[in-house]
Amino acid sequence: MDRSRDVRDRTKKPIFPADFQWGVATSAFQLEGSPNADWATWDPVLGDIPQITNHFALFREDLKLLKELGVNAYRFSIEWSRIQPREDTWDGEAITHYQEIIDILRSYNIEPMVTLHHFTNPRWFLERSPWHRFASIEKFLRYTEMMVSTLRNVRYWITFNEPYVILIGGYLDGCTPPGFRDVPRSLVALQNIFTCHGKAYDLIHRYVPDAQVSVAHNMSVFAPWKKWNPLDRLLKKSANYFYNHSIINAFRTGVFIVKFPFSREVEIEVPIKGKLDFFGVNYYTRVHLRFNPFKKMGVELRYADIDGHGLTNLGWEIHPRGLAKVLRYASRLDVPIIITENGIAAFDSEEKVKYMKRHVDIVERCLKDGLDVRGYYYWTLIDNYEWLQGLDARFGLYRVDFKTLKRSPTSAATYYSYLIQSRSKI
């Protein structure tokens, strides 16, 4: 580790409040698969690695890692297809399993944040009532009610992880289930998913009056590939509006105004006005946009190492300043902000250390500027399965040997513990 950086950190006056949430985030399917999930058969790679890190059996040991790190918050997801493997079957043992996770976290003084939906669906749901069908609303709410009425001691709830990514992957690009490229269906799915959020918000508050509920929204910074090209600039403007601002406006007004480039504007009403106790922001990168008539919707995504911080294992640009930008956008909502994911895929853990430090520095600056940021969750605890990329992305603070399933700390784990201690007010 670079010692000069340590010394500089220690001499800084801590400014993170004592109750700031220092966490890590995970998702169930990415750690442990699930035989009844739609993704289990969607990506052929999963046929060879059905249990991935086998976290489902090894969770007690993995939760000890959280204690070792010294985090005070943990975001994890419930795998819907384990709770409800068939539409008419609720699996009591699976519910007990998640309750045990919560109980262990509480015994460690770690605040649980539960994500109800992190990309995967039970297979029966996808076959019968995917998100563009009206029936999806009732199915999701039944599952939500089962969870909030049975799980004890959870205050923080995320209804959907990255609803826009579900829509883009599943309904516009077609690379994720249900695999459509269909704008009208994507708009119906958007309405159904956000209707679920609005109704789930009320349901959660009915059972847990002091609950804190949000979505975890993926935010990115966009730039034109060539500044001189008006079409690239138009794409940048549309993407920034749609990806970052349309959801903020919808939570303020109850109306989504969707305007894709080269098509007419659509207004969609959704019952979500004010249905947000904090705003969960997932931030990773900046995306350059290039007009290309041969690509879907005329858009080509590009990444370039403009700041000189490098690219990640997935080829994404490392752009810490962008975090400040999206946090400023998010502050328009006038609710506290929690960074529900931020992390890097890298083989070299020193790259992780640098990434983490640069982004936490930005959070610190935003706090000084008066933004109401209440937490930072690093993605992710241990190496896992990355959607459509397999096992090589290496986002973990702990490295997993996928042959022996042994977990070993990287220097980023040590650094995160140190950062938590040195940056927090006592």
> Which parts of this chain interact with ligand BGC (CB under 6 A)?
27, 30, 161-162, 218, 282, 341, 379, 386
Shortest reach from residue 380's CB to ligand BGC, in Å = 7
Judged by beta carbon, residue 163 or residue 224, the one nearer ligand BGC is 163
Could you tell me the CA-to-CA distances from 295 to 44, 195, 247, 300 in Å, in that order? 25, 31, 25, 6
Tokens of 257: 């105004």
Shortest reach from residue 136's CB to ligand BGC, in Å = 20
Cα(419)–Cα(257) distance, integer angstroms: 41
Shortest reach from residue 298's CB to ligand BGC, in Å = 24
Judged by beta carbon, residue 129 or residue 384, the one nearer ligand BGC is 384
Shortest reach from residue 58's CB to ligand BGC, in Å = 19
Shortest reach from residue 389's CB to ligand BGC, in Å = 8
| Dihedral in degrees, nearest 10, Cα atoms 218, 98, 271, 195 | 80
User: Which residue, chain included where needed, has tokens 């009425």?
Assistant: 149
Shortest reach from residue 3's CB to ligand BGC, in Å = 30
Closest among 188, 314, 320, 164 to 244, alpha carbons compared: 164
- β-partners of residue 37 are 122
Tokens of 194: 């956000």
Return the half-sphere exposure (C-beta side, CA atoms, 13 A cut-off) of residue 262: 11
Judged by beta carbon, residue 372 or residue 386, the one nearer ligand BGC is 386
Judged by beta carbon, residue 130 or residue 163, the one nearer ligand BGC is 163
User: Which residue, chain included where needed, has tokens 């580790």?
Assistant: 1
DSSP secondary structure code for residue 119 in this structure: S
Tokens of 27: 């998702």
DSSP of 187-247, one letter per residue? HHHHHHHHHHHHHHHHHHHHH-TT-EEEEEEEEEEEEESSTT-HHHHHHHHHHIIIIIIHH
Judged by beta carbon, residue 16 or residue 157, the one nearer ligand BGC is 157
Judged by beta carbon, residue 21 or residue 312, the one nearer ligand BGC is 312
Judged by beta carbon, residue 212 or residue 218, the one nearer ligand BGC is 218
- The stretches of 331-377 forming alpha helices (DSSP H) are 349-368
Shortest reach from residue 284's CB to ligand BGC, in Å = 6
Judged by beta carbon, residue 112 or residue 224, the one nearer ligand BGC is 112
Shortest reach from residue 406's CB to ligand BGC, in Å = 22
